[in-house]
């Protein structure tokens, strides 16, 4: 089966004249269309806000596009807070959801006025000792444990997750926080990853809404917001049906009116923290076939590697591959599409049926817009690629240059060997 690319071969031929492969390319038109659809889907909730998961695609040019539509930033580290501040996100435009959090990160989040989302009950005391008080608005992350199922299908295993508080801890945490001066409360939960079903968010919402009613009744706190976090996935394989955000938003609305409104909680704001859904399908990795190998299997070697896209090597994740200019040719050749790392798992595709690949062909690896570039690393001394934005007018804009050896050796700059390396070609 085929997957449509958002860029044509002719466009890529022009882009490659200025920017050599490999590079990540993002689709501005698709990003804007998807962001508007999300806003429309939750427009029924007066206080709705999307906090984009910065870890998914930490690029200020892309975050700026999302911020045009009112997005905040979901951060979980010091540098993500720095990036958010740099693009103008401060105060309640930042949701800081960290875990095993160093003191300096809480200090920085407090300095920016971010909403702090506590991962564990012990963090209450740690936060108070670190910043000297408990903020008036505070959130706690909830983990009900067990298995999370939709119908009879197991979607994920929250009980095996390191994140969040138990039910008992959540109630105790709210009581403690209230006694220490907190006035507005939020609940956050993430129970399943990359769900390709319209049922996940409404089911998660029902769990959190019912818990919120109990919490407000039994502890006397005021629940200001409920953060449904992420988990809405994308169809990596071409046979999967994509989620319909309109159906998802309407499903959450129905549960809201069923559970919260009768309890007198019709003012609760709904937040989301979507990364993969927001940008995943609107990015691709563009790479060139540079070698072929015929041994026990047929291999196509490309100029990208797991440094540019780790998900297939790390998870065995599927990413569709299109050989540009051969979209209508029969897929009658079986290949492993591989990179150059000294690791046998550096494979973008295994036993993948593709058209015959010639050296110099351009391959597009789909759905790398989230958790693609951001998971890159420098094993084997490989350097991270550039990031480009395909503008609405069809032009390409460089939004991150490719790394150079000087970047790789920069942390040796205080030593003589570093100075020598940085002066070498």
- Known catalytic residues are 342
| Secondary structure class of 223 (helix, strand, coil) | strand
Report whether 76 contacts 298 (CB < 8 A): no
Report whether 324 contacts 361 (CB < 8 A): yes
Ranges of H-type helices in 293-377:
311-315
Pseudo-torsion of CA 396, 397, 398, 400, nearest 10°? -120
Pairing of strands 321-323, 362-365: antiparallel
- Which tokens is 381 given? 């001394």
Report whether 243 contacts 216 (CB < 8 A): no
Cα–Cα distance for residue pair 31/54, rounded to 1 Å: 15
Pairing of strands 298-302, 49-53: unpaired
Tell me the DSSP string of 303-362. Answer: S--TTT--HHHHH-----EEETT-TTS---EEEEEE-SSSSTT-EEEEEEEESPPPTT-E
Give the number of residues written for the chain.
Answer: 425
What distance separates the 2 farthest-apart alpha carbons in the chain?
A: 70
Cα–Cα distance for residue pair 177/134, rounded to 1 Å: 7
- Which tokens is 406 given? 């000087």
DSSP 90: -
Report whether 285 contacts 278 (CB < 8 A): no
Report whether 373 contacts 57 (CB < 8 A): yes
Q: Which is nearest to 73 in space by CA: 249, 271, 283, 237?
A: 271
DSSP 256: I
């Amino acid at each position: 089966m085929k997957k449509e690319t958002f860029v044509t071969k002719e466009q890529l031929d022009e882009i490659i004249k200025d920017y050599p492969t490999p590079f990540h390319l993002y689709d501005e038109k698709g990003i804007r269309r998807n962001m508007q659809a999300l806003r429309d889907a939750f427009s029924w909730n007066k206080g709705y806000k999307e906090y984009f998961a910065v870890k998914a695609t930490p690029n200020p040019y892309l975050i700026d596009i999302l911020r045009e539509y009112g997005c905040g930033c979901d951060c979980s580290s010091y540098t993500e807070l720095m990036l958010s501040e740099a693009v103008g996100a401060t105060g309640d435009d930042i949701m800081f959801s960290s875990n095993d959090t160093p003191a300096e990160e809480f200090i920085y989040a407090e300095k920016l006025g971010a909403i702090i989302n506590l991962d564990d009950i012990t963090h209450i005391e740690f936060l108070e000792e670190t910043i000297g008080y408990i903020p008036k608005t505070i959130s706690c992350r909830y983990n009900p444990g067990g298995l999370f199922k939709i119908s009879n299908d197991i979607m994920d295993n929250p009980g095996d997750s390191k994140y969040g508080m138990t039910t008992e801890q959540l109630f105790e945490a709210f009581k403690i926080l209230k006694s220490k001066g907190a006035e507005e409360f939020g609940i956050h939960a993430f129970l399943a990853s990359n769900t390709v079903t319209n049922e996940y968010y409404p089911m998660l919402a029902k769990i959190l809404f019912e818990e919120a009613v109990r919490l407000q009744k039994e502890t006397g706190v005021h629940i200001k917001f409920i953060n449904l976090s992420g988990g809405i996935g994308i169809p990596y394989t071409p046979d999967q049906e994509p989620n319909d955000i309109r159906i998802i938003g309407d499903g959450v609305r129905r549960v809201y009116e069923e559970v919260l409104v009768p309890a007198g909680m019709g003012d609760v704001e709904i937040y989301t923290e979507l990364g993969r859904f927001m940008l995943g399908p609107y990015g691709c990795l563009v790479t060139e076939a540079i070698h072929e190998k015929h041994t026990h299997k047929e291999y196509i070697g490309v100029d990208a590697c797991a440094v540019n896209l780790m998900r297939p090597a790390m998870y065995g994740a599927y990413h569709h591959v299109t050989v540009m200019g051969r979209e209508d040719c029969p897929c009658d050749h079986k290949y492993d599409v591989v990179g150059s790392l000294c690791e046998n798992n550096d494979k973008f595709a295994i036993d993948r049926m593709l058209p015959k690949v010639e050296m110099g062909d351009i391959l597009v690896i789909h759905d790398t817009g989230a958790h693609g570039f951001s998971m890159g690393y420098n094993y084997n001394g490989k350097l991270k690629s550039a990031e480009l934005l395909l503008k609405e007018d069809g032009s390409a804009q460089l939004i991150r240059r490719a790394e150079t050896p000087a970047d790789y050796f920069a942390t040796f700059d205080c030593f003589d060997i570093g100075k020598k390396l940085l002066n070498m070609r």
